[in-house]
Structure formats: C-alpha cells, structure tokens
Copies of this chain bind each other. A is one copy, B any other.
Amino acid sequence: MTRSKPDSASPAPAPKASAASRLQMADIARLAGVSVSTVSRALAGSPLVNEATRLRVAELAKSLKYTINVGAQNLRLKQNRTIAVNVPYDPATRQHLSDPFFLSLIGSLADALTDRGYEMLLSRVDADRLDLAAQSFETGRAAGIVLVGQWHHHDQLNEMAVRGVPFVVWGGQLPGQLYATVGSDNLQGGRLATAHLIAQGARRVAFFGDPELPEVNLRHQGYLLALKDAGHKVDARLTRPAPFVREAIEQEVERLCAEGPRFDSVFAASDLMAMTVISTLRRLGREVPAEVRVAGYDDIELAQHFHPPLTTVRQPIAEAGQALIEQLLSQMGGARAQPILLPTTLEVRESTR
C-alpha cells in the first residue's frame, strides 16, 4: 500500500459532465404538466400540493428513476449532510489506514453516520498538517470533521478550534485543549494492564510505544502509576519508545533482549505492537507467556484468535463511533466542545497467564 506519487499529483485531465445531461426537475414538470415549483413541493411532501398531483409526480419520478440533485439542493438550502473523516498518515513512511483498530473505528463511524442520515467523506491527511483537514469544511464539502488520531500538533488543532471549524478528534485529552476529543480512558487502561501484569507476578514490566503520541503517553503514565501503586521502582530503560512500525518494534525487542535490562513482561501500546513483540520474542526463543507475559491495547478482532490469545485493554469501538458523531453533531448545533472519556475494560487471555 505504499504509493510513490505525492499528494500534489497533477489533477489529471477533465472529469467534466457525467453522462449526457441527467434528468432534472424541469423534465418531470413538463411530463407531468405542472410547474417545477409544484414538482419540488410534491417531492418534498409539502401539504400545499394536491394529493392527486403529488401522487402523479411521485410516480412519474419513480418510474423515471429521477432523484433530486443534492448538489443544487444543498446550494439552495445552504445545508450539508456530509461529514469528513480524516485519517492521518505519517508523511515519512506514508503508512496509513493499516492498523485494524483504526479501520474498525472507521466502520463504526460509518455506522453512526448512516444511522443519522449523514454521509462520510473519507480522506487521508498528512499527520504533520492536520490543519489541512479543515479545508473540507472551508470549501463547504463537509459540515464537520472527524480526525482519527491527534498525533503531535496539538497546536494546529487548537488553532482550528479557534477558527471555528467544527471537529472532533479521536485521541487523548490534553491540558489546555480547545477542541473536543473522544477516546478511551488511556490512563486507566494503561494502569489496568500494568497492574494485571504485576498481579500475575511480573517484577520487571517493559513498556513499548511512542510516548510522543498523546494517547500512548497517557497509557505510559498509567503504566507508571501502576508501578508506583505496587511499590515497584521505575527503571526508565524499560520504557522503549518504538514507533508503530514493524521493523522498529522488532529491532527494539532484539535490543532489549540482547543488551538488557532484564524484563519479565511487556505492556505494548497497541495490539498490533503486542503481536509483533510476541512474534519477535518467539523468534528469539523466549516463550510467551511462560517466560514473558505480554499485554496489548485495543482488543482488535484478531486479538482473541492470536496464539496465544492476547490479554488486552478493550476500547469500546461501537460506542466510539457513536460518541464521536454525537459530539460533532452537537457541536455543529452550537454546543461547546466537550471531551468524552470512554471506559476501558481488561480482557484477560492466555498471553499473560
């Protein structure tokens, strides 16, 4: 899925008029022997129009498969029922839309939107220029924006909020945040997972993840809290700042195994990461969970089918989509941006037993 051409690709030839002039209101008005206004009213189900003519128009439209041109309708009505969902991609690796968790989240957003009669415009954004996501709002394409992941650039998001762009982001709550986030309780989740590892007898828990990302950072803080709760000493070398790239994770595991320090369990910031960690450990001859216990985060569908089935912190995906859309819509309705924290639960499976 690595593409070579940059986003700034030439817009290509002409997409021009699609098909020889589509059917329009005037046509069915003529055919029905009424004026366009009547057709408009009839199709809108206005009580002003005679039931007989309403029916006639409706049937004519149906048999001719005529449907109102939403573009024109929206222009006239100044309304808009599409929401732009933006998935950040790392401009360096051009990796994107790859983590199953985000993909499920998109599915859940699609559900939530369809349920409310909205459409979803899906696109990618350069993770370093999250503010560009605002464009689909500014060009009138979308009535609101969902950002799937905040990455770095808290600042850009705050600036968007100041500009009055209606948007929500899936991510962690940050101090001084002017925009709305929806996310799982990352702190609590990290704490849960780590506490569980400790309860299983872990003495030296390693943390894998990129603490530059707000969400991961919160999970890391939860990890630290749990260590403190248990009276464990924190060994900073056990925090391994690996980005979400397979090779980097593998390397980090190899380094940790080779150079130390000693560790008897791992809390990984995502399931995908946990799975990679487990594969690598296995390749290096360390058994999971016998020698090293591993817990993940997300509870993606495959976590339970993995071998060993993965202990993980479950984020409620279906609710996530609902909450994101609800928050966005209420914001579009004039409400203030309000962060939402979704509860997490620990799914204990074989990988930590």
Contact = CB atoms under 8 A, between A and B. Distances in A.
Interface centre among A117, A144, A317 (most CB of B within 10 A): A117
Interface residues of A, number: 80
B81 A110 contact: no
Contact of A279 (B100, B301, B307): B307
A318 B100 contact: no
A177 interface: no
Given A12-B116, A140-B71, A307-B279, A2 B332 contact: no
Each complex incorporates copies of this chain amounting to 2
Given A79-B15, A115-B9, A318-B2, A110 B139 contact: no
Interface in A87-131: 87, 96-98, 100, 103-104, 106-108, 110-111, 114-124
A276 B68 CA distance: 46
Contacts of A68: 139
A301 B279 CA distance: 13
A290 interface: no
Contacts of A302: 100, 275, 302
A70 B119 contact: no
B119 A119 contact: no
